[in-house]
Chain A
Amino acid sequence: MEKIDREDIAITSKHSNRSRKQIEYLLEQYVYAKPKDWKKFLDLFLLVLGIGFVVSGIIFFFAFNWAELNKFIKIGVILLLLIICITCSFQLKIKEIYKKMLITAAAMLVGVLFAVFGQIYQTGANAYDFFLAWTIFITIWVITTHFYPLWLIYMVLINTTIILFNDQVQNNLNSIALYTLLFFLNGIVCTALLALTKYYKTDIPLWFRNTLVLTVTSIATVGISLSIFDSKLQQGLLLIIGTLAFYAYCMKYAQINKSTFFIGTIGFSLLIIVNSILIHIFNEDFIFFFISIFVIITVTALIKFLLNLQRKWTNEK
């Protein structure tokens, strides 16, 4: 039997003549926090706030004195922190997750180090260099640590480097081509990840998978809408083909892995693309009426489809 929760007590109370005292007793027993929960919660709450405040205080203290600090001390402090993080993660006998968090902190410190270096030696505001250096230097850590938050940071850095490269150094790619490049980069990573789960049975955390799919879908949607509004369909052809292939693969994956998130995201993306086409073809104002009704009908149909799927899947369990 599943755990009894608030919903069960509410439903059974509604259709019975349970007294108020009895409801209160049941709530105290099954729902409300017990002293044991309170102890754990207060410990965590007070410890996090206490340590967080003290650490912030120390950081503010450094910030106050930053301008007066010698440049060797500035870089020295950060290098020291970096070395401490890495040493602790290798030497200390702590849980695996804490070691990985230490390496993630070290990866962030690498970025801080380069930023301080750039600030001291005034290397110019070319952010592209900074992000490229940061990305390259943490590559080995990211691959060996195999920690999903760190992978997420790494993906953000790679994307930022590409965007800034295009902005600041070589303006060869127009926006549609940029979106296509980003789409294929992130899309290939995503597809590889999804294929890995199927063939090697590795477990990816749900939040990471969903964030990646959401990002790829957003890039595809914005890119295709842009190519529709600018009437540059030929340039967007590669993107459209890639998107269709990716969506087809995701739908197949969603069916096997019983995920409503994929279907919902892809459905919504297609909705936005169709709306863009409609707005672009009929450049009149009355089209908004039609869009309004179209959105309602599509969303309703999508929700109905998802609910049916969900019911079918829970029945099969």
Chain B
Amino acid sequence: MVRAAGLTRSYRRAQGSTVAALRGIDLTVDAGEMLAVVGPSGGGKSTLLNLIGGLDRPDSGSLEVAGTDLMASSQADLDRFRRHHVGFVFQFFNLLEAADARDNVAFALLARGLAWADARMAATDLLGSVGLADRADHRPSEMSGGEQQRVAIARAIAGDPDLLIADEPTGDVDGPTTDTLMDLLCGLNHDLGITVIVATHDLSVAGRADRICEVRDGSIAER
């Protein structure tokens, strides 16, 4: 599913200096696998996930995800790649505040070309699958953190992605909610065969993955 070799990525700071976020990452993730990426803050976990998900471009190296060469892809190619192959779950949910739960999920289906009414109907079903059928008309501000993250998960899987990327999905919720969310993600991995890459500080979360890698100071090592 994921083949990365020699990935580098640097960012220019406001002061003008450069920060090397990734320094030659090699990584392979098989289809259907659940990989946990752990490491300290600022170590490069989120950068690695952003590159794999097509939200950012590497400076150098090779990166092939779901059969797509991301290094050679144009912006339009990356849009298409994300639309058809990737679902995202973020630490701070990143839901559309002005839309209700149903429309937040429906947007992912609209991106894939579904008609408005069909997208909303499918979104209602997806919310039911994450236990939020009765909250479909509620806006994010009217939901708990755990509920918002479940909406985010429903949105992430709405387009039948091959790959689900979760960046600190439990970073902003409490313990019991963490277990609920991880049950969901593990269920998607085991039952639907979706490849899951989750970045986390939480070793109990990492422990539920098939494999753990640590990213520290821009380098990766298997644990």
A binds B: no
> Interface on B for A, CB 8 Å cutoff?
none
